[in-house]
């Protein structure tokens, strides 16, 4: 594992401030709640360059003056990240943080990975941009290499620049191909912030009060923790599926254009589906004339550990797959992969994307595929994810405020509630743990409708020492509540 990480592993993930001893437990991160700990980041041999740019205060002024006021900023005291290496990022003062959110599930193989940087730099020296109306080897070879990663007849790729753009195109293809209008999506879902995808998204915090989403029908989210049918109900999958059938029968003409869902809801709070649910849904949607879209923007490229694509774990075969984020490890790159038959629909008119398949982005995307395979990052996601999930469950046993932990691989979530019976969201406590974790050197994500779910989606190259450090930080932050 050391070969794929600039930063070395360390068995010692804690430093005691007080002289009190830790509890006797298999949890190396666990301590008595009255012990004041300072978890220590694993050692790293990367030295950040001295920062010589504008001050934090000047950057803050520039943002407030010249950038949209709608920008989301994390933390009461924001941090300014100026450098990154593998699983770590550095602020303008040189402080190092373990990035457990991966630039919003975007850094797949690590910040500034040498091979990724090399691929992009070499291509930039040759040709930075030429539209896809001309032949270029990078986009052609990338299309073939990406198709090789897809099962079944998912062999035709349309490159775009973002997940929102990819989902927009996927919905267009579904409607063109079926000649139907209605799209089914899950409540609590997130599929983008473009005008079109905002209508499909079903989280009020991400929707403006404007007309949107013609022909979109939202069904019950199959949430086994917070939904009407819980994990202790053996018929939960059937009951949630019944709602899909009912919506088609009562809220559509009886035919639909398609279904879109993430294998695990990301922004919605790392929500997994009941086993067998998606398979039933796909069968029903196709019975009523629709096609099935898998949104792999966050779950793709081995992140869930057991499979390269999240939908594979559900035993289904989509007709269209959208992907972004991890595909480019931070480069503006996304894609829609579908069958040759469905792909023909956009050839009926001129449909063009100036930057889709840009030579530099394609070179970077190809390098990402190579690194994932060469460094065994899918397997690492499974192993490190299992360690994290085990540790999170132990924290759940220790702290009643942790209502649920869930997910697969390095697509994990931890939901905080004030009461495990009423499931009242612990929003204030979530914010406190979130802020304290940052102070201790750990960057987490937040999600869910109420902002009470920690979204844990680090780069896929993290080590056991990183896992131990992250668990130690969360342990201390919870103990201080």
Q: What is the CATH number of the domain that holds 264?
A: 3.40.640.10
Predicted confidence (pLDDT) per residue in 292-309, tens digit: 999 999 999 999 999 999
Instruction: Evaluate whether residue 419 is within a structural domain.
Output: no
Instruction: Evaluate whether residue 84 is within a structural domain.
Output: no
Instruction: Evaluate whether residue 457 is within a structural domain.
Output: no
Distance CA 359, CA 356 (A): 9
User: Is residue 418 classed exposed, middle or buried when 0-12, 13-18 and 19+ CB atoms within 10 A define those classes?
Assistant: middle
Instruction: Evaluate whether residue 18 is within a structural domain.
Output: no
342 Rama class: left (phi>0) / alpha (psi -120 to 50) / beta? alpha
Distance CA 319, CA 291 (A): 6
pTM score, two decimals? Answer: 0.93
Buried b (16+ CB within 10 A) or exposed e, 207-216: eeeeeebeeb
Instruction: Evaluate whether residue 22 is within a structural domain.
Output: no
Instruction: Evaluate whether residue 98 is within a structural domain.
Output: no
Answer whether residue 23 shows pLDDT above 60: no
Give me the pLDDT at residue 36, please: 59
Task: Tell me which residue range forms the domain holding 157.
Answer: 115-374
Nearest Cα residue to 365 out of 132, 127, 106: 106
Answer whether residue 17 shows pLDDT above 80: no
Number of folded domains that form the chain: 1
Predicted confidence (pLDDT) per residue in 214-242, tens digit: 899 999 999 999 999 999 999 999 999 99
Answer whether residue 16 shows pLDDT above 90: no
Answer whether residue 113 shows pLDDT above 90: yes
Predicted confidence (pLDDT) per residue in 413-433, tens digit: 999 999 999 999 999 999 999
Give the mean pLDDT of 313-332.
98
DSSP code, position 19: S
Instruction: Evaluate whether residue 173 is within a structural domain.
Output: yes
Give me the pLDDT at residue 37, please: 63
Instruction: Evaluate whether residue 58 is within a structural domain.
Output: no
DSSP code, position 207: -
Going through 196-244 in order, the beta strands assigned E by DSSP cover 216-219
């Amino acid at each position: 594992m050391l070969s794929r990480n600039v930063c070395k592993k360390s068995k010692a993930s804690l430093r005691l401030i007080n002289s009190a001893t830790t509890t006797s437990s298999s949890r190396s991160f666990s301590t008595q709640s009255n012990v004041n700990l300072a978890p220590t980041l694993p050692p790293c041999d990367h030295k950040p360059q001295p920062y010589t740019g504008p001050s934090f205060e000047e950057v803050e002024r520039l943002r407030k003056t010249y950038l949209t006021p709608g920008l989301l900023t994390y933390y009461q005291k924001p941090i300014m990240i100026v450098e990154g290496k593998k699983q770590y990022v550095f602020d303008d003062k040189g402080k190092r943080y373990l990035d457990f959110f991966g630039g919003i599930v975007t850094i797949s193989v690590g910040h500034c990975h040498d091979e990724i940087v090399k691929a992009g730099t070499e291509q930039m020296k040759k040709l930075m941009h030429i539209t896809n109306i001309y032949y270029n080897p990078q986009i052609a070879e990338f299309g073939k290499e990406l198709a090789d990663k897809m099962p079944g007849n998912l062999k035709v790729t349309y490159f775009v620049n973002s997940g929102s753009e990819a989902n927009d195109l996927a919905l267009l293809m579904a409607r063109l191909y079926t000649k139907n209008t209605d799209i089914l999506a899950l409540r609590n879902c997130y599929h983008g912030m473009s005008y079109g995808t905002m209508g499909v998204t079903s989280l009020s915090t991400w929707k403006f009060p404007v007309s949107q989403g013609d022909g979109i029908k939202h069904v019950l989210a199959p949430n086994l923790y917070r939904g009407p049918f819980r994990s202790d109900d053996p018929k939960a999958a059937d009951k949630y599926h019944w709602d899909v059938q009912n919506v088609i029968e009562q809220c559509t003409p009886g035919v639909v254009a398609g279904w879109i869902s993430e294998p695990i809801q990301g922004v919605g709070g790392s929500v997994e589906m009941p086993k067998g649910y998606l398979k039933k849904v796909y069968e029903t949607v196709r019975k009523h004339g629709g096609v099935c879209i898998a949104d792999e923007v966050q779950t793709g490229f081995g992140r869930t550990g057991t499979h390269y694509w999240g939908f594979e774990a559900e035993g289904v075969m989509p007709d269209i797959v959208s992907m972004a984020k991890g595909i480019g490890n931070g480069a503006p790159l996304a894609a829609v992969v579908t069958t040759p038959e469905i792909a023909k629909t956009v050839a009926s008119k001129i449909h063009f994307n100036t930057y889709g398949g840009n030579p530099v982005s394609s070179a970077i995307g190809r390098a990402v595929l190579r690194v994932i395979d060469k460094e065994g990052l899918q397997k690492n996601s499974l192993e490190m994810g299992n360690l994290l999930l085990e540790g999170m469950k132990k924290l759940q046993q220790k702290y009643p405020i942790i209502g649920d932990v869930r997910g697969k691989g390095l697509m994990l979530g931890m939901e905080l509630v004030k009461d495990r019976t009423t499931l009242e969201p612990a929003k204030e406590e979530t914010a406190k743990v979130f802020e304290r974790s940052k102070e201790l050197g750990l960057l987490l994500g937040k999600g869910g409708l109420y902002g009470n779910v920690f979204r844990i989606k680090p780069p896929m190259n993290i080590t056991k020492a990183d896992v131990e450090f992250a668990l130690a930080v969360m342990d201390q932050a919870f103990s201080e509540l």
